Structure 1
Amino acid sequence: MFKQWKIQHFPREENSIAGSLAKSVRTKSLRLRLFEDPP
Protein backbone atom coordinates (compact mmCIF):
# COMPACT_ATOMS: atom_id res chain seq x y z
CA MET A 1 0.00 0.00 0.00
CA PHE A 2 2.55 2.61 1.12
CA LYS A 3 5.80 1.96 -0.66
CA GLN A 4 7.62 5.21 0.04
CA TRP A 5 8.40 6.72 3.41
CA LYS A 6 9.94 10.06 4.21
CA ILE A 7 10.88 10.72 7.82
CA GLN A 8 11.70 14.25 8.91
CA HIS A 9 12.42 15.82 12.26
CA PHE A 10 10.76 19.09 13.18
CA PRO A 11 11.83 20.77 16.41
CA ARG A 12 8.94 21.28 18.81
CA GLU A 13 9.39 25.05 18.62
CA GLU A 14 8.73 24.97 14.88
CA ASN A 15 5.61 22.81 15.03
CA SER A 16 3.14 24.60 17.26
CA ILE A 17 0.06 22.97 15.68
CA ALA A 18 1.20 19.45 16.56
CA GLY A 19 2.16 20.70 20.03
CA SER A 20 -1.31 22.16 20.56
CA LEU A 21 -2.98 18.94 19.44
CA ALA A 22 -0.75 16.82 21.68
CA LYS A 23 -1.46 19.08 24.65
CA SER A 24 -5.22 18.90 24.10
CA VAL A 25 -5.09 15.09 24.05
CA ARG A 26 -3.17 15.02 27.34
CA THR A 27 -5.52 17.41 29.12
CA LYS A 28 -8.95 16.36 27.82
CA SER A 29 -10.91 13.20 27.38
CA LEU A 30 -10.39 11.35 24.14
CA ARG A 31 -13.05 12.12 21.57
CA LEU A 32 -13.25 13.06 17.92
CA ARG A 33 -12.43 16.69 17.17
CA LEU A 34 -12.64 18.33 13.78
CA PHE A 35 -10.74 21.55 13.15
CA GLU A 36 -11.51 23.87 10.27
CA ASP A 37 -8.59 26.11 11.25
CA PRO A 38 -5.41 25.15 13.13
CA PRO A 39 -5.66 25.60 16.92
Structure 2
Amino acid sequence: MFRQDVVKDNVNKFSTDYQNRQEQICERPKKKPRQKK
Protein backbone atom coordinates (compact mmCIF):
# COMPACT_ATOMS: atom_id res chain seq x y z
CA MET A 1 0.00 0.00 0.00
CA PHE A 2 2.52 2.55 1.17
CA ARG A 3 5.45 2.85 -1.20
CA GLN A 4 8.83 2.37 0.42
CA ASP A 5 10.65 5.01 -1.66
CA VAL A 6 8.03 7.57 -0.70
CA VAL A 7 8.65 6.83 2.96
CA LYS A 8 12.41 7.13 2.43
CA ASP A 9 11.89 10.44 0.65
CA ASN A 10 9.84 11.78 3.51
CA VAL A 11 12.39 10.63 6.05
CA ASN A 12 15.21 12.24 4.10
CA LYS A 13 13.27 15.47 3.78
CA PHE A 14 12.50 15.46 7.49
CA SER A 15 16.15 14.81 8.36
CA THR A 16 17.33 17.63 6.12
CA ASP A 17 14.74 20.04 7.49
CA TYR A 18 15.68 19.09 11.03
CA GLN A 19 19.39 19.54 10.34
CA ASN A 20 18.81 22.93 8.73
CA ARG A 21 16.72 24.01 11.69
CA GLN A 22 19.45 22.94 14.11
CA GLU A 23 22.05 24.89 12.14
CA GLN A 24 19.85 27.99 12.13
CA ILE A 25 19.43 27.69 15.89
CA CYS A 26 23.19 27.42 16.30
CA GLU A 27 23.84 30.41 14.06
CA ARG A 28 21.23 32.56 15.76
CA PRO A 29 22.81 34.85 18.35
CA LYS A 30 21.99 33.76 21.86
CA LYS A 31 19.96 36.26 23.83
CA LYS A 32 20.38 34.50 27.14
CA PRO A 33 22.53 31.46 27.86
CA ARG A 34 20.47 28.41 28.65
CA GLN A 35 21.87 26.63 31.66
CA LYS A 36 21.12 23.14 32.85
CA LYS A 37 20.38 22.84 36.51
Same fold, TM exceeding 0.5? no
- TM-score normalised to structure 2 length: 0.37
- The structure with the largest helix share of the pair is 2
- Which is bigger in relative contact order (C-alpha 8 A, separation at least 6)? 1
Larger Rg: 1 or 2? 2
